[in-house]
Chain A
Amino acid sequence: MKYKDYYAILGVAKNAGTDEIKKAYRKLAHKYHPDVSKEAGAEEKFKEVAEAYETLKNPEKRAAYDQLGSYQPGQDFHPPPDWQKQYGETPFSFEDVDLSDLFAGLRGGRVHMHRERGKIQMPGEDYEVAVHITLEEAYRGTEVELDLSMPEFDANGRLHRVPHVIKARIPKGATDGQRLRLPGQGGKGLNGGRNGDLYLNIVLHPHPLFRVSGHDLYLDLPLVPWEAVLGTTVDLPTPGGPVRLKVPPGTHAGQKLRLARRGLPKPHAGEGDLYAVVQIVVPGAVSDRERALYQQLAQGSTFNPRGHFEQELRHESRTH
């Protein structure tokens, strides 16, 4: 069993009072609670904080924790023999349980690491995991394999941490932020209680070309000035394969050209759209011939894109 320093996790001294422990927990909960925090690794951090608080706020559990002794965080350790004598209901292995399992089972001065027969039904714990998928996987659907470790009672009624491998089909159309439920795939229920559920939270990897908003996709479409003026036909990549897009003459920068139903599939029917966002791109260096042509264009054109500035500029030159 690996040691966790609950006092260090909450940032309090070993002789801290209950109020101080509560205050430290509240502060850290506001900082790291996964429903309100945007900090990286907040969820893991909050789990540690909640586990530490769960044990230290209860005088009985805290006393039992203190008597375990002090070790380095993460260090493998065995509770001292007199600890086992005092708190152990019956001898049990500390090898494949977590410190949190030990204190979750502490009631009435004894650690209950055995299934209590004939007691009240307890539903199994729900689990929530983030599943990272690519845009291509969201487009076609995919299968993911999840490795979870759950506390479970064996045939003899003893508690162990058991690795669970769950293979789930992510249907097409599950995009960023979509929650999916796997009924009964969470922790096992106790004494006939229902099994917990597993919730998947879909997270899309950023794509080098496509930006995602719901089921719509956005793609930058760089055009050179003459393509924007004269119109052109371009081949566009889309998740479903290349499509040919006609760019009308007089297309301006920032304009969004919509390709209906070329976005991500929606959960039950239909598809989002794909938008090509026009950018006008000028070459960094031009040849003598190109420069001459631009100069010829500059001399021949009467187009003034800043006509609306003129009244303001005239007004300003009068007042200064």
Chain B
Amino acid sequence: MKVELTEVLWLDEQQELSLTELAGLSGLSEEELRELVDYGVIAPVDPEAEPPVFRADCVVIARTACRLRTDFELDAPGLALALTLLGRIHDLEAQLRELSAQFPHRPRKKS
């Protein structure tokens, strides 16, 4: 069986999504997404624009939000707090990776 090669889509700042598209992709409702925007967890490209437009990488955080809401039965404030803390952990891990990459590793001993 011949398998067709599928092209992938980047989830980054080059692609933008409408509120309805983000809701469809993440499993959250538009109202829940607006709440996460109010809490500052998800930032629209232009805070003044109505309806809001989002960078495609917001899908990652919105899908995480949907999973956490379902699996831990979280309400909006709890969800916002969990996502804020996960975001901080993510940033700290990135910093740690950067520092660890800069730190010389011990040269390997010849066996």
Q: Spell out A's residues near B (CB within 8 Å).
A: 26, 29-30, 33, 35-36, 46, 50, 123, 126, 143, 145, 165-171, 178-183, 185, 194, 197, 199-200, 211-214, 216-218, 220, 222, 253-254, 256, 267-268, 275, 277-279, 281
Contacts and interface: CB of A to CB of B under 8 A. Distances in A.
B11 A179 contact: yes
Nearest to B2: A167
Given A169-B8, A180-B11, A212 B101 contact: yes
Interface of B: 1, 3-12, 14, 24-25, 27, 56-57, 59-60, 63-64, 67-68, 71-72, 82, 86, 94, 97-98, 100-105, 107
A181 B101 contact: no
A35 B79 CA distance: 12
Nearest to A198: B6
Given A212-B101, A277-B102, A181 B8 contact: yes
B71 A29 contact: yes
A131 to B, nearest CB: 10
Contacts of A197: 25
Given A29-B72, A35-B68, A214 B98 contact: yes
Contact of A167 (B6, B25, B97): B6
A279 B9 CA distance: 41
Nearest to B93: A177
A194 B12 CA distance: 23
Contacts of B94: 213-214
A64 B107 CA distance: 60
Contact of A182 (B8, B25, B56, B60): B8
Contact of A267 (B6, B12, B27): B12
A231 B11 CA distance: 44
Contacts, number: 101
Given A181-B9, A211-B100, A256-B102, A35 B3 contact: no
A50 B107 contact: no
A169 B101 contact: no
Contacts of B4: 167
Given A35-B86, A166-B3, A211 B101 contact: yes
B90 to A, nearest CB: 9
A18 to B, nearest CB: 14
B96 to A, nearest CB: 10
A180 B10 contact: yes
Contacts of A218: 101-102
A178 to B, nearest CB: 8
A201 to B, nearest CB: 9
| Closest 4 A/B residue pairs (Cβ) | A211-B101, A180-B8, A213-B98, A213-B101
B102 A179 contact: no
A281 B105 contact: no
B6 A36 contact: no
A167 B5 contact: yes
Contact of A169 (B7, B14, B67, B71): B7
30 contacts: A33-B67, A33-B68, A35-B68, A36-B86, A126-B63, A165-B1, A165-B3, A166-B3, A166-B6, A167-B5, A170-B8, A178-B10, A179-B11, A179-B59, A181-B9, A182-B6, A185-B6, A194-B24, A211-B105, A213-B101, A213-B102, A216-B101, A217-B101, A218-B101, A220-B107, A267-B10, A268-B14, A279-B104, A279-B107, A281-B107
